[in-house]
Chain A
Amino acid sequence: MPPILELKELNKRFGGITAVKDFNLQVEKGQIIGLIGPNGAGKTTLFNLITGFLKPDSGTIMFKGKNITKLKPHKIANMGLVRTFQLVKPFKRMLAIENVAVGCYSDRSKKKRKDRDDVPQKAFDALQRVGINPPNTFKLAMTLSHGYSRRLDIARALVLEPDVLLLDEPFGGLGAKESNLMTPLIQKLHREDNLTLIIIEHKMRQLMKIAEKLVVMQFGEKIAEGTCREVTEDPKVCEAYLGKGGHDYFARNK
């Protein structure tokens, strides 16, 4: 089977900074890929390129066999490639259920839906799936806790019934307790919806539980790719995080 998502020789520069450099990646259907790398490595920029929020200087992005490099973000989303953002971005002055309902009026959801009237129910169910129940369902999004906001972001993406979901630091800002709830949630969604996931995350302990494969970025380049074990034992990776001699440090503290 051809990869569901393929990045070929992607490049993106901001003035003097090369945010993404000669980036290649193949994502198979159903995979969960963890995307890691130090701050400023270019992970979020890569998401922005894939989802059309930024245009690459060169290179192509293939999704389900189609070239999506020049498409607008909403077109890409409607093809089934949906993202969340690094900072939670709820529609603050709208109810949680309204937040989710918006996505039900995307072209993709409209096509997938037969009964027009079931939108409220669908939004309600999507919230329930991520663990948001009444009365929170009917609260203004700005009044929800940070943990709920993260889940709201995911529920908003879910109503599009995506094929590939890109999560930008889903554990960002979550406490230990909330993190421990997020992990099984992501696993459940992956299992039930046959989702393909790319997850940017700094919290390695959580990511290792979920990801089948890790991709490591530094200065815009892919410096390692492989199973969690392979990658964490790669001296280049330890160096990227801890500087020269980092490998010894890693080895000693295992």
Chain B
Amino acid sequence: MGRKLANEDESVRITKDMKLKIAPKNSVFLALLILLIFFPAISSDYYILLILIFANIGAVYAASWDLTAGVTGQFSFGQILFFGIAGYVSGALNLFLGLPPLLTIPIGGAFGVLVGLIVGLPSLRLKGPYFRIVSLTFPGILSGIILMYPEVTGGEAGFYGLSPISSDIVTTYYASVLLMLVSIFILLRIVSSRIGLVFRSIRENEDVAEAIGINTTRYKLLAWAISGFFAGIAGGFQTHQLMTISPFVFGTVYSFQAILYALLGGIGTIIGSVGGSYLLTILNELLRCIADLRAMMYAVVMIIVYLFIPMGIYRWLAIRFNIQLGTWDGLKKLRRKKLNAPNP
């Protein structure tokens, strides 16, 4: 079912006069953006803002997974590795060197790049399911290492008493909104650029991409590096937000969190991760009152969604409302030049 519907989604709809019609319903996005920006004016409730902050962090984290898995086809079960390492690096820099979050978060992101490249290496050799299984083990290995050197890493307790992003929740909220918007914007730009075009070709068929002269090794490593960076800054942000980090961050659950968010929102769309993160983070809070049944309710909701809209919410909306999903931006150039094609 998903396959069949996915047919229509990315097709550029063409009007009779052969011009490409690119008609995003910008107004909806604009309305949501305004809501996001003015939300503290509606409610500055600490608890609600906190949930939204987590939704923003989750959006960046899920979108980073989507770049490798959904866009480039390098599906991993270990995304939390980048998030966690960057969190630890940010925490350590803050704790031992006293660096402020504004510095520790980007440096954590740089470590995400490094680890992304290291993780990327086996993905070049191991194909499909083999790599997925191996990727599942990475975070566990790391938390093992951390527990082995408690004098440096703080052992099970990890680091605590770190500097917060800001002592004011509204400021922290705006910082998270900025983080999310800028990250998603950059990721979307990458996906619609020539780099994203090549990423998608690797997802579709690596051998063919090689056969037409694409250095797939180089591009896959690039995808891992970018993914590692964005997962990393999300991890650094959350560490400062919580003012603590411990080895429990490396739990397998958290790798699946990225996958669930992206799948729900629409894999390969980047922007879907934002919707997925918001919906699931809020749902998670709503279900808090039935704590015992929460995991089950969560599963039920996911099953219902995947049964009825397996291509994810964003693709489903795109088809319903004729939103142009992101394609290669070269098409816009072609349209600007006017197609000098003969009419059939």
Contacts and interface: CB of A to CB of B under 8 A. Distances in A.
Contact of B327 (A53, A95, A139): A95
A109 interface: yes
B209 to A, nearest CB: 7
B20 A103 contact: no
Contacts of A102: 197-198, 201, 209, 212, 214
A72 B334 CA distance: 33
A94 B204 contact: yes
A214 interface: no
A51 B211 contact: yes
B10 A140 contact: yes
A58 interface: no
B219 to A, nearest CB: 9
A108 B213 contact: yes
Contacts of B328: 95, 98, 101
A138 to B, nearest CB: 5
B326 to A, nearest CB: 12
B167 interface: no
A203 interface: no
Given A89-B205, A89-B207, A134-B18, A74 B216 contact: yes
B231 to A, nearest CB: 24
Given A94-B204, A119-B330, A72 B341 contact: no
A108 B213 CA distance: 7
B218 to A, nearest CB: 9
B200 interface: yes
Contacts of B333: 117, 120
B213 A160 contact: yes
Contacts of A83: 211
A106 interface: yes
Contacts of B18: 134-135
A197 interface: no
A109 to B, nearest CB: 7
B314 to A, nearest CB: 15
B210 A72 contact: yes
B34 interface: no
A218 B173 CA distance: 71
Contacts, number: 131
Interface in A54-99: 72-74, 77-78, 82-85, 89-95, 97-99
A134 B212 contact: no
User: Interface residue tally of chain A, by bracket?
Assistant: 35 or more
B125 to A, nearest CB: 13
B328 to A, nearest CB: 5
Contacts of A143: 7, 11
Interface in B1-21: 6-7, 10-12, 14, 18, 20
Contacts of A73: 207, 210-211
Contacts of A107: 213, 215
A103 B197 CA distance: 10
Contact of A156 (B12, B212, B331): B212
B198 A105 contact: yes
A133 interface: yes
A95 B211 contact: no
Nearest to B19: A134
Contacts of A157: 211-212
A128 interface: yes
Contacts of A77: 210-213
B320 interface: no
Interface string A102-126: 1101111100000001011101100
Contacts of B197: 94, 98, 101-102, 105
A152 to B, nearest CB: 11
The 4 lowest CB-CB distance pairs between A and B, nearest first, are A106-B213, A91-B204, A77-B213, A120-B334
Interface of B: 6-7, 10-12, 14, 18, 20, 194, 197-198, 200-201, 204-205, 207-216, 327-328, 330-331, 333-334, 337, 339, 341-342, 344
Given A95-B10, A160-B213, 5 more contacts: A82-B211, A85-B207, A85-B208, A94-B197, A142-B7
24 contacts: A53-B211, A73-B210, A74-B214, A82-B213, A83-B211, A85-B207, A89-B208, A94-B10, A95-B11, A95-B12, A97-B331, A98-B201, A99-B201, A101-B197, A102-B201, A105-B197, A105-B198, A119-B194, A120-B334, A120-B337, A135-B344, A140-B11, A159-B212, A160-B212
